[in-house]
Amino acid sequence: MAVTQERRMRAAAARRTAMLREEAARLHAEIDRQRDYIKAQDVTILEDRQEAARQVEGVTAALLEMTVDRDRMENAWRVASMEHQRLLRSTTWRITAPLRWAMSHIPTSVRRLVRREAR
């Protein structure tokens, strides 16, 4: 009877060992699957970061270009404004002010006639 019980215990131990080995194999497979998933996520994250870096570089370059354009336009506006002020302060502009005022109060048809005759 002791031999039979020992055989049963060995059989039970063998079954338990087989179950544990199967469970270990299943867990190793799950770990491998999770590891592969994490690696794929790492690659995706790296690609996303690289794309974001490229976009930041593009936006930075565009911003720099717009800043340069804005500075050029501001300088052109300053030059035009100074030229306009110089023209308004000129003697010729001041002398012709009464004539311009008078011309603005004359009907359009008469103004056209005066302009044609002045040519």
At 6-56, the pLDDT tens digits run 899 999 999 999 999 999 999 999 999 999 999 999 999 999 999 999 999
Percent of all residues in the chain with a pLDDT value above 70, rounded to a whole number: 99
Sign of CA dihedral 97, 87, 74, 68: positive
Q: Give the total residue count for the chain.
A: 119
pLDDT at 33: 97
pLDDT at 1: 67
What CA–CA distance (Å, rounded) separates 91 from 106?
A: 24
pLDDT at 79: 97
pLDDT at 14: 95
Region 88-110: mean pLDDT is 89
pTM of model > 0.85 = no
Check if the beta carbon of residue 63 is closer than 8 Å to that of residue 69.
Answer: no
Higher pLDDT, 1 or 51: 51
pLDDT at 117: 81
Distance from chain centroid for Cα 36? 32
Region 56-83: mean pLDDT is 97
